[in-house]
Structure 1
Amino acid sequence: MKSIAVINQKGGVGKTTVTANLGHALAQHGKHVTLIDLDPQGQLSASLGLFRPPKQGIDEVMLNAASIESVSVSTREGLMLVPAGANLGDVEKQSAEGVQRALLLQKGMQRSGSDKDYLLIDCPPSSGLLMANAIMAVDEVLIPVTGDYLGLNGLAHLLATLKQFERLRHRPLGRRVLLSRLVARRRLSKEVVGKLKNHFPGKIMATAVREAAVLAECPGVGRTIFEYRPGSVSAKEFTALAVDLIEGRMMS
């Protein structure tokens, strides 16, 4: 099983959109995928059509040692969802000492079965204990970055945070960058892409996800792009992105 946290401390970069649609794309390629909604706001659950998700979810795994399987919900063929749960915000209040507070999710994943090909975690736009748990638990992070200089500044801050946690992990943390919400015709976007290529050679996903109104509309109807506009450019991009992930394709 490959575990990936979709992460960026900056909001508005498309983390939830990426998690939902990439997860569904992987499932359409025959992979067994589990998505974890690690944001107390529960946006991932709504994006998959669970506008009233179960009250128990990943909060029970982290706070009460429940199994991931016991709180998983089947949403599409090959695609399971672990909702946030009503008490996920309480994780930030944990009184355990030191690094143990950041290992709650890792321990829950270690108790999980091995029948999954991919586990994707939709992280909150913050640098608190929930994000720390995701970083400590996964094999790698996928960082959506927008084509502007604020996106670059946010990335530098995040990479510094990842380095700090990597020392505590005692194992490498893979990093991939995804160009998200890209407006390809903007000169600024081209400049930012150029800088990213220089600073992160071999780490940028081959397929970029461009800004599109249809992607913004999908969560409101609880559908992925493959259900809402299956013939759209965005659907083709997420299909290609899934292949990138499976085959390890990166931007040259």
Structure 2
Amino acid sequence: MNVWAVANQKGGVGKTTTVVSLAGELARQGERVLVVDLDPHASLTSYLGLDPETTDDGVYALFRQAAGESTPSPHVRPGQAEGLDLLPASPALAVLDRTLGTRKGMGVVLQKGLASLGQGYDHVLLDCPPMLGILMVNALAACDRLVIPVQTEFLALHGLRRMLRTLEMIGRSRDRAPEYIIVPTQFDRRTRAATQSLYTLRDEFHPHIWTQYIPVDTRFREASRQGRALTCSDPASRGAQAYASLARHLLSLENTPQEELAS
């Protein structure tokens, strides 16, 4: 089971789109995929056709159960997309930092939960909130690889730098930080700002940046309206082709020995 977290400490960079598109492509290849919504805004949950207000047996239940409270057991739901199962989010996740953030052992709740909930899946993808807290800490502790989508605009670079500082801090405190890859998103080759941002990303963050990019594609909007992954609903589209290429690259990294990656 490969666990990939998709995170950035800035909103609007394409985290949920990245999770759905990668998961859809993996499922299209016949893989069993679980997606986990860790964001109190619950965009992934809504995308896949569930009402966040009625999902008290998702991620929130996992944390309340770990705290020793009597709650419904966490329950994986079938999503309204091909081959994807979902552990949903609810707005109640917003209170976890205040209610459970200081309790011992709360940083590895997800890692322990996936040991049972993730059984039988080839891949688990985590959609993270855009802020540092108990949920992001759990995601970074549970994942094998971190995917950082970065919108190709100047302000998004600040969010990336914050994310990398967080990753460094987690690595110091746990003696382990996940491998990460930076994915340029929402690239519009017609604009000078996007082109300059892409050049900056490649110059400053080599060798961790993916050499390709996710283009602007209006079909993403239509796919989200349908509650489907673009990689399933329109695999020939530009955006779907880009995410298919990213999925192939990530799978190649998982199949490459660490000593070869380091050389």
| TM-score bracket for this pair, using the shorter chain length | 0.7 to 0.9
Range moving further from structure 2, 114-123 or 226-235: 226-235
Answering whether residue 242 of structure 2 is matched by residue 241 of structure 1, we say no
**Structure 1: where are the runs of 5+ without partners?**
none
Output aligned runs, 1:30-49, within 5 Å.
30-49=30-49
Aligned match for 1:214, one of 219, 232, 239: 219
1:111 to partner: Cα distance: 3.7
Range moving further from structure 2, 218-227 or 167-176: 218-227
**Partner residue, 1:12:** 12
For 1:63, the aligned partner's letter is: R
Q: What SS class does the counterpart of residue 194 from structure 1 fall into?
A: helix
**Partner residue, 2:96:** 91
For 2:23, the aligned partner's letter is: G
Aligned match for 1:115, one of 109, 113, 120: 120
Q: What SS class does the counterpart of residue 50 from structure 1 fall into?
A: coil
TM-score (norm 1): 0.87
**Partner residue, 1:63:** 64
Structure 1 CA distance, aligned partners of 2:222 and 2:129?
A: 21
Structure 1 CA distance, aligned partners of 2:106 and 2:179?
A: 22
**Partner residue, 2:158:** 153
Q: Would the alpha carbon gap of residues 67 and 23 (structure 1) be closer, same or farther in structure 2, given more than 3 Å must change? A: farther
Range moving further from structure 2, 26-35 or 89-98: 89-98
Range moving further from structure 2, 49-58 or 129-138: 49-58
Structure 2 CA distance, aligned partners of 1:245 and 1:69?
A: 29
Q: What SS class does the counterpart of residue 209 from structure 1 fall into?
A: coil
Answering whether residue 182 of structure 2 is matched by residue 177 of structure 1, we say yes
For 1:150, the aligned partner's letter is: L
RMSD: 2.6
Output aligned runs, 1:18-29, within 5 Å.
18-29=18-29
Aligned pair count reads 250
Output aligned runs, 1:122-161, within 5 Å.
122-161=127-166
TM-score (norm 2): 0.84
Aligned match for 1:201, one of 202, 206, 209: 206
**Partner residue, 1:190:** 195
Q: Would the alpha carbon gap of residues 213 and 74 (structure 1) be closer, same or farther in structure 2, given more than 3 Å must change? A: closer
Structure 2 CA distance, aligned partners of 1:24 and 1:107?
A: 25
- Dislocated runs of 4+, deviation >6 Å: 66-69
Q: Would the alpha carbon gap of residues 107 and 184 (structure 1) be closer, same or farther in structure 2, given more than 3 Å must change? A: same
Structure 2 CA distance, aligned partners of 1:67 and 1:122?
A: 22
- Deviation per residue, 1:16-72 (Å, 9 max, x gap): 111111111111122221100111222102222334663311111122148997334
